[in-house]
Amino acid sequence: MLTPADRHAGQGQRIDTARQADLDAAYQAHPERFPNGRPHPPHQPERVWINPTELHTR
């Protein structure tokens, strides 16, 4: 997950890339810990709201 500040600053892609590198290193070191194969960072939604207005729910 990204912080709101990270998302607002446009850092999501950079953080996901770094997170993927860490996950790849962990997978290479101990593939037995990942029974479902190579792990991936969680999907980041395009937009998020705390209280969406009617306009945002369409």
Cα 46 from Cα 7, distance rounded (Å): 10
In this prediction, residue 55 carries a pLDDT of 64
Neighbouring C-beta atoms of residue 16, cutoff 10 Å: 16
Q: Pick 40 or 52 by higher pLDDT.
A: 40
Q: Give the whole-angstrom CA distance, residue 2 versus residue 8.
A: 10
**1-24: per-residue pLDDT in tens?**
788 888 888 898 999 999 999 999
- Quick one: average pLDDT of 31-52? 87
pLDDT at 32 over 70: yes
Domain positions in the chain are: 4-57
pLDDT score of 54 more than 90: no
